[in-house]
Structure 1
């Protein structure tokens, strides 16, 4: 178990809160975020994540630092599929581009909370029942199977369970009211389509957690490592979306790369569980090797995508069907 000093947890929480406040204040006015602005913010989030990784390396040691970097890069790569779903949801609800950042801000905030809950449960379960790692590996292999078969996922944001439940709790009007999530009509509070969009995005993230949580737990079972790496990856997701909006179709080999990464992590989980439960002679895949494999696969996927443009307008396939 890592002996994480309390001040390091405090430094992480302070960094996240301050960065979110600055981000929110910088986008008080609703405006369309262009490539240059998105690239600057994306660079900021990546820099924060890497600087924090350096602090982890210095304070907790090289093993913890490598595990943090590997988990952050893994979550960053797996979260690319979220971008496709964001684009689908925005198109379905016809969200004006000027309001999209506000929606994603609250979507990311909810994701931070839910990921914290899921990761806490995952760490607790793995600590008590090592055999669950085999189940996690099976989930990742199934996701790889769907990706490599090219199965087309169907997702109707308006019919997702989260949106249907929201409409039962509060009426949702058809027209937008600026950047407001709720308005008063005839003396009662009703939701705007932006509220339904947030519900759809949160629901999609819950489904993607089915893959990302088992994957990151293969890298480390330390709550500090898995949560901080997930948090920094999620925080940079909004800027990454606006930076790559309109370019997602070009990275058509990326889904195959993610499938290879998921299957590799699945093998890592099996070896890890076998080492603990069957025999210590069973080798484990070290974190530096995991980091190297992820970097190489992502690099090759991006390079191939750019060198071999996709035929037609196919957007590729998503890892999961966000229908919770």
Structure 2
């Protein structure tokens, strides 16, 4: 499979990710458990967005964006557009992740000062899972071209399913992942700081914090199944696929705290995501008949997502209406769910 990723580019990218995570962990350890303010979340969100666009600008220059050779310049422009389109699609799909994380935090009553740590571990898990799935997906596509059609059909199906599920109130109580966890793991009735395990009545138990991280890992896997085919519809270059995914994920934690307080304002966003997924899936299915230009894909994605966000603000959700996450988790009454969670813990 053809890729612009040279050994030097891969090495620089991996080094950057390691340094970024190390700095994040160092800052988190130094600050300790604390509630992330809107100001802090906004600053970090802007920083990660700026870093992403600085990277693509540098990549464009490195590939010869300023070259006098038309072929080299065309390649640089194409790869930059692929990165930006993939980044925006992954960033938009990450919004649905955020709504699910919010539902989990609400259900388990995770204290605000502990949410930062949970998200940090969730991001590391997502990075590892995406890297593995992208490499496997790239190999499958290079060996079996028909996989593109399978990915395309899956995205169209997912988009249609997401459209019909939008606006419906999901049910966390019947979620099989949570039911399995509650049956197989002893869960303490309360938190013990930021510890994942504690002792209660002399018995070692997992704290709700550990359960939340476990469920977030499951969520990462499920959303990766949707997002990986989506990015491969935009580009099959493993370097562009992985970098656009990683940069979108690195800013996920800051974006969570920024959007957590306003998730109901974007109640129509899931409809926009559904349209984008159907469009991308259709593009994949038509790849051997007509290759939709990457510029059109980028413009369509931006237009649809911007339109649904503007319409969400212009036509606010009615009281009691779901924010529209298509994933089967629910952020119902915290007190009610907390009580049921404790009863389940005692049963174990």
Question: Normalised by the size of structure 2, how large is the TM-score?
Answer: 0.84
Q: Please, which runs of 5 or more residues in structure 1 have no aligned partner? A: 276-281
| Most deviating of 243-252 and 131-140 | 131-140
Shift of 1:10: 1.9
* 2:170 alignment counterpart: 154
Deviation (angstroms), 1:141: 1.5
Please list the CA deviations of residues 199-253 of structure 1 after superposition, one character each: whole Å capped at 9, or x if unmatched: 0111011111121111011011121111111111111111111011120101112
Distance 1:77 1:59, change over 3 A: same
Partner of 2:180: 164
Q: How does 1:82-161 map to 2 (within 5 A)?
A: 82-150=97-165, 152=168, 154-156=170-172, 159-161=175-177
Query: Match of 1:26?
Result: 27
Distance 1:207 1:221, change over 3 A: same
Unaligned runs of 5+ residues in structure 2 are 64-75, 330-348
Cα distance per residue 1:259-287 (max 9 Å; x no partner): 11111101110111xx1xxxxxx220121
- 2:174 and 2:24 mapped to 1: Cα distance? 29
Kindly indicate whether the alpha-carbon contact (under 8 Å) linking 1:138 and 1:266 is maintained by their aligned counterparts in 2. yes
Pairwise CA distance, 1:27: 2.3
Cα gap change, 1:179 to 1:129, in 2 (>3 Å): same
Q: Is the 8 A contact 1:143 1:320 kept in 2?
A: no
CA distance, structure 2, for counterparts of residue 115 and residue 178 of structure 1? 30
> Does the 8 A contact of 2:131 with 2:242 survive in 1?
yes
The partner residue of 2:221 within 195, 203, 206 is: 206
Asked whether the equivalents of residues 166 and 199 of structure 1 are also in contact (C-alpha less than 8 Å), the reply is no
Alpha-carbon separation, structure 2, partners of 1:55 and 1:7: 14
Check the 8 A contact 2:175/2:328 in 1, yes or no.
no
TM-score where L is the length of structure 1: 0.90
Q: 1:124 to 1:18 in 2, by over 3 A?
A: same
Q: 1:191 to 1:149 in 2, by over 3 A?
A: closer
Residues in 2 aligned to 1:126 and 1:240: alpha-carbon distance in whole angstroms: 32
1:81/1:318 contact within 8 Å kept: yes
Q: Which moved more, 1:39-48 or 1:134-143?
A: 134-143
The yes-or-no answer on 1:298 pairing with 2:305 is yes
**In 2, are the aligned partners of 1:92 and 1:157 still within 8 Å (CA)?**
no
What pairs with 1:165-204 in structure 2 (closer than 5 Å)? 168=184, 171-183=186-198, 190-204=205-219
Q: Aligned residue pairs: how many?
A: 314
Cα distance in 1 for residues equivalent to 2:213 and 2:231: 25
Partner residue of 2:240? 225
For residue 279 of structure 1, what is the aligned residue in structure 2?
none
Deviations 1:171-209 (A, max 9, x none): 432221101112356887532111100001110111111
- Displacement after TM superposition at 1:157 (Å): 7.0
Residue 12 (structure 1) aligns with: 13
Does structure 1 conserve the Cα–Cα contact (< 8 Å) formed by 2:196 and 2:206? yes
Alpha carbon RMSD of aligned pairs, Å?
2.2
> Could you say what secondary structure the match of 1:284 adopts?
coil
Match of 1:27, SS state, is: helix
Is 1:53 paired with 2:69? Answer: no
**Mapped partners of 2:27, 2:137: distance in 1:** 35
C-alpha distance in 2, partners of 1:158/1:25?
A: 38
Larger radius of gyration: 2
Tell me, in whole angstroms, the C-alpha distance in 1 between the residues paired with 2:266 and 2:125.
28
Choose which of 25, 28, 36 in structure 1 pairs with 2:39: 36
Q: Is the 8 A contact 1:248 1:315 kept in 2?
A: no
Query: How far apart are 1:143 and its partner, in Å?
Result: 1.9
Moved more, 259-268 or 156-165: 156-165
Answering whether residue 295 of structure 2 is matched by residue 288 of structure 1, we say yes
Q: Are the aligned partners of 1:250 and 1:306 in contact in 2 as well (CA < 8 Å)?
A: yes
Residue deviations 1:94-146, cap 9 Å, x none? 10011001000001100101111111111111112211222212221222222
Change (3 A) 1:115 1:18: same
1:75 aligns with 2:90: yes
